[in-house]
Structure 1
Amino acid sequence: MSYTFLSQHFEQRYHLQHLGAICGWDQSTMMPPGGSEARAEAMSTLAVLCHQQLQDPRLADWFAAAEQEPLAPQHTVSLAEMRRQWHDATLLPEELVRAMSLAGSRCEHAWRSLRPANDWAGYLPLFEEVLNLSRQAASARAEALGLSQYDSLLEQYEPGMRSERLDTLFGDIKSWLPGLITQVQDKQRDETLLQPKGPFAIEQQRALGLEVMALLGFDFDHGRLDVSVHPFCGGVSEDVRLTTRYNEQDVTQALMGIIHETGHARYEQGLPAHWRRLPVGQARSMGIHESQSLFFEMQLARHPAFIARLAPLLERHFGAQPAFSPDNMARLYTRVTPGLIRVDADEVTYPAHIMLRYEIERDLIEGKMEARDLPERWDQLMQSYLGLGTKGNYRDGCLQDIHWTDGSFGYFPSYTLGAIYAAQQAAAIQQLTPLEQLIENRLTSVFSWLQKNIWQQASLLDTDRLIEQACGQPLDATAFRQHLQTRYLG
């Protein structure tokens, strides 16, 4: 009976989180500027309500009693996931939760206008408040969990992952990535590359995006596509919200952005319906979530066989032009060029952007650097990793991402972890059938494999066990390296 009480309690929390997600989506897509302060206060109140719900004094007794009840194995796992979320929520005082939500909403809203204005001075005091509160949260979490401050935040996004393991993993990637970037650039130097000629009307880009989402199996009865400054996927399984951004001079960017977010959405829509309102039925980790978006964008959509399916769609929506030939589009989508912007980065240089952010956010949280030092450190690491400078260019440097505006420290490693997991999943699928054949003939077979091995597993297994069961081995960058070498060097 106590397990039933807990399930009902956590389902109520799911409904509150659903409301919060839609409020956040509206804030990013449709809310008038004048509503920002009221929305920040409303979302802060909702965050506190969610926090209070997990501090209900009845929960301790229910957990103690439920652990004595005869439960099926899946319910035992479900109970453990509910306990993990409950324990996590008890680590922070209500006042800190409220302050973090309010400061994050204010900083994120201001960032939307401060970034285009290149206004670091205006952003700094807002960011300092977010960082200060995040450090307080990290200290409280670290003391309770027996972890370092940064690892205590990493735990929120990647349960079980530690910075020591990341240092080893990223250290391995650093040992071969610079050489690979150089080799690929040398190989591509003499390639002929045609840029599609615009303008490309936004409505036509949207129509193309919707058609590709349908090709990828997106369920439009339980989701929609909109526009925001920073593309994202939010909402809940039954009500998934995707966003992208359009550039009338560049059709390629928004299309891949939509495909990326569709990967996130398919994961959400594919979670087990009978579990999805409980913690055990939700996404395992952000690294696994990113593995789905990167599987769709990198493993599938940039594969020559998939580009051959995209080319006629581009011609149908925008008219024929030489740049839309499959061979040219494949070269465009696999062009390796170090750049300043993470979301526009190619598949090979992308890990450098993540390792840069990981080193900075770890040192910010651990107190090894201050917010005012961010632009200089960013420029130094960008020079070191990609040979590019950002002095005075805050917009394309340390102001480019939305994550730190609301205190999402510990999130960035998920992107490269996701790329590694995606490569492992693609390698496992190809042991059964070549991916090219599946893309050409039975794209649904790819989704069936993901549904069975990733989506329907939700949080029934921890991340290492999930990947080992699906791919035959735990987290390992070998498949990722082999994928990059095969695709870019032949």
Structure 2
Amino acid sequence: MSFAKLDVHLHKLEALEHALAILGADEATHMAIGGGEKRAEAMASLAGLHHRQASTPEIADWIADAENEDLDETKKIALIELKRDYTNLTCLPSEFVERQTGARMRCEQLWRDLRAKNDWTNFVPALENVISLVREEAAMRASVLGLSPYDAMMEQYDPGNRADMVAPVFDDLKSFLRDFVPEALAVQEERRAKTPPRPLSGPYAIEKQRELGLALMTAVGFDITHGSLSVSHHPFCGGVPSDVRITTRYKTNDFLSSLMGVLHETGHALYEQNLPKEWSHWPLGKARGMSMHESQSLFVEKQIGRNPSFWEFALPHLGQYLGQTWSMAELLPHLHQVEPGLIRVDADEVTYPLHVILRFELERELIAGTLSVSDIPEAWDARMRDYFGLSTIDNPADGPMQDVHWPSGAFGYFPSYTLGAMMAAQQWAAFERQHPTANTDLAAGNFEPINTWRRQNIWAKGSSASTPALLESATGESLNAIYFTNHLRARYGA
């Protein structure tokens, strides 16, 4: 039976995916700097091997035969998703995948070194090579998928989303934020004039911060027997569902920076750990795109982690692990601080969407070829001045070099962050309607109702439906930005 043949073959592919994921996580956390070149070679070879086996013509034959077999509904859906995945894989030749993987890894390794030196000039050639390959990839995908080059890249991270659908939503949000950011800042200033905030007075020992992070990530549902917490240059969630690797980075004068990173990545990890295990080797058993993934991470970080009810439960942990007693009134100004800044990952949830919109606009121009790599600093600075009133022209490390996405070739990913924030707010609103005791549960440290709802409505469904269909099934309506703007107004407005 052809479906059975596909099942066996996909188990073999899963083993290669496992190896690549763990090697990648190790490369970003524990690998000695001198191992970079050989690691890139090894992972490029493995990526090429995986691509050749995942795009072999026999798969197309097996899919065609399996479509005529007597399959149950779940297997039919699994076959549809595999066919979509196979079409996207076969857009690219294996030789190109191997060459591109090596270039991405070497560029990312160089980025880690040169960002620390604020050295844009020596970074440009490597980034130009990566973007040249991304444009080549986008063109190949576009010709097969019948999409524009940028849409073809977005399809890899968030199937079904298109730039012309996202751009108007982002334009409206940008318009809202231009008015709302000054309002939020004024409200904040008024509150602080009445009650000056207590400073985050470190130093906070890194090991104690790590213990705090582990305590809270396990409290919200992370299975520590199938995952770990490490340090990396840029926070991420990697590994595989049975061995999720999440990372953060620490500041000794600010425990909230690392903790919010831990909670964000824990949101990703919870999604991975609760995907349907019996379908883990099929595309059906994978997460449904990056906007859904980001909705899960932002649900934990924003809807839970910055919710005052959560801190009724979490405040005692600060005394236990950091040796400091904080009141809610003292901590909330830091959790809800609004401050236009240079760094996306440190941004508050009011200004964060503007960071994403900036990158979305620039990378569309980069893929189209209307913006050259050498002109990125000026284009970036112009938008930073416009959206934030800040300049990065002499500080590329905190400007266009701050994110790992472009060095690693991840173009089309950024829109997922803000789409995910909107979806997270909509999911929380739906959960609250069904569970009026949501905040009471949070205050008591009872996360099971929240996780049960997400497991049933999001996690266990894997990629059984499109992102819009999953969201509508979970919340009762299609994506509606009003939940996000209402959330911002309620938390930060007058």
TM-score range, shorter chain: over 0.9
Does the alignment pair 1:439 with 2:442?
yes
CA shift digits 1:68-114 (9 cap, x unpaired): 00111110110011111111111112221111101101000011110
Q: How far 1:433 sits from its partner (Å)?
A: 2.4
Task: Name the amino acid aligned to 1:355.
Answer: I
- The equivalent residue for 1:253 is 257
Aligned to 2:23: 23
> TM-score, normalised to structure 1's length?
0.98
Partner of 2:162: 162
Residue from 386, 389, 411 that aligns with 1:387: 389
Equivalent-residue separation in structure 2 for 1:478 and 1:8 (angstroms)? 45
SS of the residue 1:225 aligns to: strand
Query: Is residue 2:425 matched to residue 1:423?
Result: yes
Deviates more, 1:205-214 or 1:55-64: 55-64
Counting only pairs closer than 5 Å after superposition, residues 395-406 of structure 1 correspond to structure 2 as 395-406=397-408
* Aligned amino acid, residue 114 of structure 1: L
Asked if residue 229 in structure 1 is aligned to residue 236 in structure 2, the reply is no
Is the Cα–Cα contact under 8 Å of residues 228 and 244 in structure 1 kept in the other structure? yes
Q: Give the alignment of 1:184-333 within 5 angstroms.
A: 184-190=184-190, 191=192, 192-321=196-325, 324-333=326-335
Whether the 8 Å contact between 1:421 and 1:467 is mirrored in structure 2 is yes
Aligned mate of 1:360, from 346, 359, 362: 362
Q: What is the RMSD of the two structures over their aligned residues, measured on CA atoms?
A: 1.0
The alpha-carbon deviation at position 444 of structure 1 amounts to 1.1
Is the aligned partner of 1:371 residue 2:368?
Answer: no
SS of structure 2 residue aligned to 1:404: coil
1:476 aligns with 480
Whether the aligned pair in 1 keeps the contact of 2:311 and 2:443 (CA below 8 Å) is: no
Give the letter for the 2:475 counterpart. C
User: Number of aligned pairs?
Assistant: 488
**Cross-structure match for 2:13:** 13
How far apart, CA to CA, are the structure 2 residues paired with 1:57 and 1:166? 35
Hey, what's the Cα distance between the residues in 2 that align with 1:84 and 1:327?
51
State the partner residue of 1:450.
454
How far apart, in 2, do the equivalents of 1:224 and 1:320 lie? 26
1:308, distance to aligned residue in structure 2 (A) = 2.0
Aligned to 2:350: 348
Tell which deviates more after alignment, 11-20 or 30-39.
Answer: 11-20
Distance 1:319 1:147 in 2: 56
Contact 2:221/2:447 (<8 A) preserved: no
Quick check: 108-117 or 302-311, which moved more?
Answer: 302-311
Extract unaligned runs of 5+ from structure 1. none
Amino acid of the residue matched to residue 356 of structure 2? I
Q: How far off its partner does 1:421 sit?
A: 0.6
SS at match of 1:418: helix
Structure 2 CA distance for aligned equivalents of residues 88 and 456 of structure 1:
24
1:189-222 deviation digits (Å, cap 9, x = unpaired): 1312112211111111111111111111111111
Asked whether the 8 Å contact 1:10–1:82 carries over to 2, the reply is no
Aligned position for 1:129? 129
Deviations along 1:129-157, whole A, 9 cap, x unmatched?
Answer: 00000000000111111111100000000
Distance 2:60 2:167 in 1: 37
Q: Cα distance, 1:57 vs. partner? A: 2.3
Task: State how far apart, in whole Å, the 2-side matches of 1:405 and 1:105 are.
Answer: 8
| SS at 2:147 equivalent | coil
